[in-house]
Amino acid sequence: MDQLIDGRLSVGGNGHWGIISSLDVTGKATTVIDGGGKVHVGCPGYSGRILVKNNAGAETIQIDGQGLFRVGGKVDVGGGGQWGIISSLDVTGKATTVIDGGGKVHVGCPGYWGHILVKNNAGAETIQIRGDWGDITLLGGDCAEEFDVSERDQIEPGTVLSIGEDGLLKPSQKPFDKRVAGVVSGGMNYHPGLILDKKPSKKKRLPVALTGKTYCKVDAQESRVEIGDLLTTSSIKGHAMKANDPLKAFGAVIGKALAPLSEGTGLIPILVALQ
């Protein structure tokens, strides 16, 4: 029987426990509100499910008996004198991951070491933090730092940069330049694993590889580059070359070649190590 009530419905009291039940066609109670302050959704044969919709009819919150809790919006836990805590429990009820109102995320607990995985949109792990060894694993190949660079130059990844008179970095253009600062990160399939001093600026800024593996523009027109050769700045703008003269190269070494270049110019991987 359907009944419409306009106002207030009180069930129970005066020594009686209030219970409101919603029954299926066989008479089985699938949803129950009891006087103990509980709402029971689901029963043997029925998986409980709660759907909350917005005024457009879209589901914004979903809770089902399979253990799924989905929120399309905002969740506030705590406040009003209460400390907010969200815990993820294992099958024994132990809290292995906790987000607390003190601004902390606890991953791991006695018996479980914490493990954080960050993936890209292709599903590949790009960052991994392991609580057992204390390791942070990054997919990128170099440690870079952002610098203000010249607005006048078209600067590509792999370009060798030197410090200009105005303090801005610009493509190097003389051999054995002791003002060399590094190589623009991001050439080919190498990307920085760590970028320092990344901040908003009105000036043009680029990540410059200071250490690690990156691709670099190299000039082999005068001297063939072999694996392991030390590299310095070339007379060709933004390029490195083999450091044939150790005395001139002191203080102007960019790094070490990780691949050969027999002639002409090209982009090869190097190990950045400013010296």
Per residue in 27-37, pLDDT (tens digit) is: 999 999 998 89
- Domain final position from 138, 154, 181: 138
For residue 77, being part of any structural domain is answered with no
CA angle 47, 52, 58 (to 5 degrees): 115
Q: Are residues 146 and 230 in the same domain?
A: yes
Tell me if 208 sits within 8 A of 180, measured CB to CB. Answer: no
- What is the predicted pLDDT for the residue at 202? 86
For residue 5, being part of any structural domain is answered with no
Sites in the chain below the pLDDT cut of 50 = none
For residue 8, being part of any structural domain is answered with no
Q: Are residues 101 and 214 in the same domain?
A: no
For residue 125, being part of any structural domain is answered with yes
For residue 268, being part of any structural domain is answered with yes
Q: Are residues 209 and 257 in the same domain?
A: yes
Q: Are residues 154 and 200 in the same domain?
A: yes
* Closest of 177, 192, 196 to residue 234, by C-alpha: 177
Q: State the pTM of this model.
A: 0.70
Buried b (16+ CB within 10 A) or exposed e, 51-87: eeeeeeeeeeeebeeeeeeeeeeeeeeeeeeeeeeee
- What is the predicted pLDDT for the residue at 217? 97
The parent domain of residue 91 ranges over 85-138
For residue 230, being part of any structural domain is answered with yes
Q: Give CA separation, 6 vs 3, 90, 141, in Å.
A: 10, 45, 67
For residue 126, being part of any structural domain is answered with yes
Summarised one tens digit per residue, pLDDT across range 23-61 is: 999 999 999 999 889 999 999 989 999 999 999 999 888
195: CATH: 2.40.300.10
